[in-house]
Amino acid sequence: MSPAGVIEAAPGRRPGHVPPRRTGRAAALSAGLLAGLGVLVLLTLVGIAVGSRSVPLSTVVDALTAPDGSTDHTVIRELRVPRTLLGLGVGAALGLAGALMQSLTRNPLADPGLLGINYGAALGVTVALGLLGLSDPAVYVWFAFAGAALSAVLAYALGSAGRSGASPVRLALAGVALGMVFHAAASAILRMDVATFDRMRFWLTGSLAGPTPDIAVRLAPFLIAGLVLGLLLAGPLNALALGDDAGRSLGVGVGRTRVLTAVAVTLLCGAATAAAGPLWFVGLAVPHAVRTFTGPDQRWLLPYTVVLSPVVLLGSDILGRVIAAPGEVQVGIMCAVVGAPVFILLARRRRLAAL
């Protein structure tokens, strides 16, 4: 070490020099993220244009920039724009929640659906609507948060019971079992009230068509808070990936990071499920696909997931409207149809290693 206390550079390398390979990789990932944003913007415009009555993209642009009060412009601004914005928020929320859960638990099978968190939130909403008659989204979203948090705690408690502790397979099995229990309980409540069942049957499948613009506005603060908090946890989660002791030595509060991650996941899953119902595979398949080219670095993994998850959700929603025009196939069904084969392909091409 030099007298100034600075580590000497390796022979032939200037102090502070960044290897070209590292800068080249960062530039490539930045370019890829910008490309993903471009695809997301394009799909957003297509999602606004496609429906029971398709309109040209030029009309969509005119409706967004210079509305004239025509029927097409009114439909676009009052129905399709809120639906598309909701799809953006729900997709980003579920994808980020899945990535956070996989990182925190070091479980490659962690997913809001697979661990039963979505169904816990769905049960909370069902209790609020079916038993208590609470139809205000600002009220029943708290039941969704409570159900999501309860499901997460129970899944971890069941999956980690015994001497062997928590493992990816045990956590997945506990989550699936809890999800089925919550789903059965919600179904039993809905069978007691036919009117509530008719109102919620599309929501339980997973749909972006049911929520009103008012619901999107009311749930937006929770989604935004969860997204911001989740993205800010990239650095601490990178440190914890080295182990709890290494994380502490790097100045990371292990307990605080876990609590904040749990809060972010609860906000994301609760708000997304309250808005669109329980959706599968977005939070499971997208982080795995992203990890194949970003690696485990959360500073790239989380932003990529936030951008590409809405791409998958909006693409599935558009596909569901196209194949069943003038009707539509609910996005929850399309996400399962699209996401399951993708995840199977990823699992066959690349081992599911512990994170």
Give yes or no for a contact between 139 and 128, defined as CB atoms under 8 angstroms apart. Answer: yes
Region 211-226 average pLDDT: 82
pLDDT(109) > 80: no
* DSSP secondary structure of 37-96: HHHHHHHHHHHHH-SSS---HHHHHHHHHS----HHHHHIIIIIHHHHHHHHHHHHHHHH
Give yes or no for a contact between 161 and 180, defined as CB atoms under 8 angstroms apart. Answer: no
Q: Angle at CA 175, nearest 5°, toward 173 and 177? A: 70
> So what's the pLDDT on residue 306?
96
Confidence tier at 164 by pLDDT (50, 70, 90): low
Tell whether 12 is covered by a domain: no
Confidence tier at 349 by pLDDT (50, 70, 90): low
Greater pLDDT, 227 or 285: 227
pLDDT(6) > 60: no
Q: How many structural domains comprise the chain?
A: 1
> So what's the pLDDT on residue 117?
85
CA of residue 205 relative to chain centroid, distance: 17
Region 220-227 average pLDDT: 92
Region 190-219 average pLDDT: 77
CA of residue 165 relative to chain centroid, distance: 27
Confidence tier at 350 by pLDDT (50, 70, 90): low
Q: Angle at CA 187, nearest 5°, toward 226 and 138? A: 35
Give yes or no for a contact between 306 and 288, defined as CB atoms under 8 angstroms apart. Answer: no
> So what's the pLDDT on residue 142?
87
Model pTM score: 0.83
E-strand spans in 158-313?
none
> So what's the pLDDT on residue 252?
85
Q: Which of 137-146, 200-209, 285-294 has the lowest mean pLDDT?
A: 200-209
The boundaries of the domain holding residue 338 are 71-349
Give the span between the Cα atoms of 245 and 48, in whole angstroms. Answer: 49
Confidence tier at 37 by pLDDT (50, 70, 90): very high
> So what's the pLDDT on residue 26?
85
**Which residues neighbour 49 within 8 Å (Cβ) at sequence distance 6 or greater?**
55, 56, 57, 59, 60, 80
Give the span between the Cα atoms of 295 and 136, in whole angstroms. Answer: 42
Q: Which of 49-53, 89-93, 128-132, 275-279 has the lowest mean pLDDT?
A: 49-53
> So what's the pLDDT on residue 30?
92
Tell whether 63 is covered by a domain: no
pLDDT(184) > 80: yes
Tell whether 301 is covered by a domain: yes
Tell whether 129 is covered by a domain: yes
Mean pLDDT of the chain: 82
Tell whether 303 is covered by a domain: yes
Extract the tokens encoding 275.
Answer: 């808005």
Tell whether 23 is covered by a domain: no
pLDDT(15) > 70: no
Tell whether 308 is covered by a domain: yes
Confidence tier at 210 by pLDDT (50, 70, 90): low
Give yes or no for a contact between 202 and 330, defined as CB atoms under 8 angstroms apart. Answer: yes
Region 298-311 average pLDDT: 95
DSSP H or E run through 188? helix 168-191
DSSP H or E run through 75? helix 71-75
**What are the Cα distances from residue 264, in Å, to 28, 84, 141, 229, 258?**
29, 23, 15, 6, 10
User: Which domain CATH number covers 134?
Assistant: 1.10.3470.10
Give yes or no for a contact between 266 and 149, defined as CB atoms under 8 angstroms apart. Answer: yes
Tell whether 39 is covered by a domain: no
